[in-house]
Amino acid sequence: MKAGKKNIAVVGAGWAGIAAAVDVCRNGHQVTLIEASRTLGGRARALPRRAHPDPAAGDPWLTLDNGQHILLGGYAQTLRLMDALNMDPEVAFLRLPLDLRDAQGLGMHLPDMQRPWNLLAGLAMARGWSLSDKRALLTQMRAWRKSGFLCAPGRSVADICGGLPQAVRKTLMEPLCVSALNTLPFKASGQVFLRVLHDALLGETGKSTPASFATSDALLPLRDLSRLMPDAAARWLERHGANVLRQHRVARVAWNAGRWDLEDADGGRQTFDAVIWATAPEHALQTIRHSAEGAPPNVAAHFARWCASAEKLRYESIATVYTYSRDATLPRPLLRLNHAPGAPAQFVVDRGTMGDPGLWAFVISAARGEKSMLEFQVVNQARTELADYLGPTGIAAVQTVIEKRATFACTAGLKRPGPRIAPGLLACGDYTYAPYPATLEGAVRSGQMAAMAVEDMGGFKWKD
């Protein structure tokens, strides 16, 4: 191995782990990417099975994802990663200027114009808002901008938006909060929301962003999530000499005189100069707790400190109800829905843009309730709000995916675990990137920061 070249393991092949592995590899180190499941991508991947809505009618097989992921505001590093993988975002995504209108066109959307004219024009054209509503939002945006889009850490989204008119809260602030933070406004972090709001409404094209994209755009994937990034990343890593191990579960991590041993469930062991732990936080916490048993006192102290912080995380679920209606097409690929008791979905995505006509994905952030009840409510919600767009055969639920711990609860005043578990043992994932909520961009940025930290690893003296 060349001088200065390290042997690095990345445990977990979600988007954070992929970003870390690619950057570590680009920095000239030997990388082993380890994934417990068969499919890479973590919480943003295609499902291993397909749905067949009605074989008797000759309806096509449908490729589903384990959730809907729409890039919204501040995704420059995700696009940078795609560029490193020689992927073309113009082909991978459908670019949509931010649009939070419902099926009747009520709400706000930003026209395809330069900032700040897009925001001003969107505000002027917003339907369902009075002139005083628009004036109040403009005044509040000016106040937030004057404050640098900062607020006290303990303030919730409900707190910072409390002075806005109800129409603005219901059709702009609350949908944006729930979709971006996956946390209800009364407990969601006002500070993180202000960062999202800045990027979504006032963002501008950056150096890592294609010239045709603005960070106020929403990017809708045009292929299933595995093909969108993880599969291409695995091929790129293998071409550049990395090892990609699937269906390989790490049971324990152990300090080994300045290096780290990874032990699998069968007792196998590999030794690495450093390890980047990129699994979901609850899985990381379980393994680090187990690894603390029998560890040297100084190592165990590092583990205990990190676990104490990770134990404070709470989680929110996301449900995606896939429905099928032959010959059905929505007026726009992405629609805001009027979320209310008995109408749980906040957004619907027309998967016809991905080549699956008639397939709609209803997204329920901060989901509550059982699968059968959610399906029943969503079908009724579709019949109520989207009746004009249903096919002649009506609508039926095809499959429902509920991620019980889809994201951490992005609550006001939350202190997240840091990326340093112990010297040479780093954590990455959206939960470690404090400026952002649980988004793909936050995951990618955390992975890239972990890769940078590998270049500057400090150690500690050995103690028996």
Name the residue ranges covered by the structural domains of the chain: 7-44+229-313+414-454, 48-223+315-408
- Measured CA distances, 193 to 32, 67, 105, 435 (Å): 36, 22, 25, 9
Q: Cis omega before residue 417 (within 30°)?
A: no
Contact 417, 430 (CB under 8 A): no
Q: Which long-range contacts (CB under 8 A, 24 or more apart) does 124-127 make?
A: 127/101
Q: Which residues make Cβ contacts (< 8 Å) with residue 68, sequence separation at least 6?
A: 320, 347, 349, 361, 363
Helix axes 440-454, 76-84, angle to 10 degrees: 60
- DSSP-derived pairing of the beta strands 274-277 and 7-11: parallel
Kindly give the interhelix angle for 76-84 and 15-26, rounded to the nearest 10 degrees: 50
Integer-rounded Cα radius of gyration of the chain: 23
pLDDT tens digits for 212-251?
A: 566 668 888 888 888 888 999 999 999 999 999 999 999 9
User: Tell me, what's the pLDDT at 279?
Assistant: 96
Domain 48-223+315-408 top-level CATH class: alpha beta
CA distance 165 to 169: 6
The pTM assigned to this predicted structure is 0.91
- pLDDT 10s per residue in the chain (464 long)? 555 789 999 999 999 999 999 999 999 999 999 999 988 988 888 776 666 666 656 666 777 887 777 777 568 889 889 989 999 888 888 888 889 999 999 999 988 888 778 888 999 999 999 999 999 999 999 999 999 999 999 999 999 999 999 999 999 999 989 988 999 999 999 999 999 888 777 665 444 455 456 666 888 888 888 888 899 999 999 999 999 999 999 999 999 988 999 999 888 899 999 999 999 999 999 999 999 998 999 999 999 999 999 999 999 999 999 999 988 999 999 999 999 999 999 999 999 888 888 999 999 999 999 999 999 999 999 999 999 999 888 899 999 999 999 999 999 999 999 999 999 999 999 999 988 899 899 999 999 999 999 877 655 444 43
- The CA distance from 332 to 347, in Å, is 12
Which 3-state string (H, E, C) describes the chain? CCCCCCEEEEECCEHHHHHHHHHHHHCCCEEEEECCCCCCECCCCEEEEEECCCHHHCCCCEEEECCCCCEECCCHHHHHHHHHCCCCHHHHEEEEECECCCCCCCECECCCCCCCHHHHHHHHHCECCCHHHHHHHHHHHHHHHHCCCCCCCCCEHHHHCCCCCHHHHHHHHHHHHHHHHCCCCCCEEHHHHHHHHHHHHHCCCCCCCCCCCCCCEEEEECCCHHHHCHHHHHHHHHHCCCEEECCCCEEEEEEECCEEEEEECCCCEEEECEEEECCCHHHHHHHHHHHHCCCCHHHHHHHHHHHHHHCCCCEEEEEEEEEECCCCCCCCCEEECCCECCECCCEEEEHHHHCCCCEEEEEEECCCCCHHHHHHHHHHHHHHHCHHHCCCCCCEEEEEEEEEEEEECCECCCCCCCCEEECCEEECCHHHCCCCCCCHHHHHHHHHHHHHHHCCCCCCCCCC
The tokens for 358 are: 């008639």
CATH topology of domain 7-44+229-313+414-454: FAD/NAD(P)-binding domain (3.50.50)
Are 380 and 293 contacting, i.e. CB atoms less than 8 angstroms apart? no
Q: What is the pLDDT of residues 124-157, one digit of tens each?
A: 999 999 999 999 999 999 999 999 999 999 999 9
Cβ atoms of 127 and 133 within 8 Å: the answer is no
Tell me the C-alpha distance between 171 and 333, whole Å: 18
Distance (Å, whole) CA 37 – CA 337: 34
Q: What is the pLDDT of residues 269-288, one digit of tens each?
A: 999 999 999 999 999 999 99
Asked if 277 contacts 284 with a C-beta cutoff of 8 angstroms, the reply is: yes
Calculate ∠ Cα 264-269-275, nearest 5°: 85
